[in-house]
């Protein structure tokens, strides 16, 4: 298990926390717990309940969605420093995808109780975290919008419409 100081040093390299002051990273790190997954182990499946978010400390996770029966579509592979699960942390909503360990993986876990405690004990650290997370949300929303546009274009092309001529 890593110490809060070691975790804070790692967090400073993660995109989510790059602009967060080191004192705030230390306070945040004290609210995280570490878990380890074996290669191939499923952390959660789409539609499972959730109220935690995760930062990958070591290893690689596969993000997938069920298509039909036992068929899963891999959406992404994510690695050290990347985060996921934040919708569950804030909305306690069902998981939007399945996450499994591609390699042996160590995750840093923030649950809603520890986020609440951080907000009470160190509002500055909590505010820095919220600001950083909003930037992640904005980027993911931008990527989703681009994906919708691309899928729409593919659909139009599949109907035989010459997308280039309609511009």
Complete domains list, the chain, with CATH? 4-158 (2.60.120.10)
Residue 144 has pLDDT above 80, yes or no: no
pLDDT (average), residues 4-10? 93
Q: Is the distance from CB of 107 to CB of 42 less than 8 angstroms?
A: no
Query: How many whole angstroms separate alpha carbon 88 and alpha carbon 65?
Result: 16
Greater confidence (101 vs 4) lies with 101
Confidence of residue 140 (pLDDT cuts 50, 70, 90): low
| Buried residues in 71-84 as b, exposed as e (16+ CB within 10 A) | ebeeeeebeebbbb
**Strand, coil or helix: 108:** strand
Residue 58 has pLDDT above 80, yes or no: yes
DSSP per-residue string spanning 64-84: EEEEETTEEEEEEEE-TT-EE
At a CB cut-off of 8 Å and minimum separation 6, what does 128 contact? 19, 20, 21, 24, 28
pLDDT at 165: 67
pLDDT at 89: 84
pLDDT (average), residues 42-64? 95
Q: Is the distance from CB of 48 to CB of 102 less than 8 angstroms?
A: no
> How confident is the model over 9-18, as pLDDT tens digits?
999 999 888 8
């Amino acid at each position: 298990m890593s110490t809060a100081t070691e975790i804070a040093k790692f967090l400073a390299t993660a995109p989510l926390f790059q602009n967060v002051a080191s004192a705030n990273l230390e306070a945040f790190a004290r609210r995280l717990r570490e878990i380890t997954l074996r290669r191939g182990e499923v952390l959660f499946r789409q539609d499972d309940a959730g109220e935690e978010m995760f930062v990958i400390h070591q290893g690689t996770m596969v993000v997938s969605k069920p298509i039909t029966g036992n068929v899963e579509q891999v959406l992404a592979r994510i690695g050290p420093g990347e985060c996921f699960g934040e919708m569950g942390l804030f909305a306690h909503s069902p998981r939007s995808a399945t996450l499994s360990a591609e390699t042996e993986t160590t995750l840093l876990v923030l649950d809603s109780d520890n986020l609440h405690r951080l907000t009470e004990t160190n509002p500055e650290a909590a505010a820095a975290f919220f600001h950083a997370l909003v930037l992640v949300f904005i980027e993911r929303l931008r990527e989703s919008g681009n994906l919708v546009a691309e899928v729409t274009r593919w659909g139009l092309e599949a109907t035989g419409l010459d997308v280039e001529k309609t511009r």
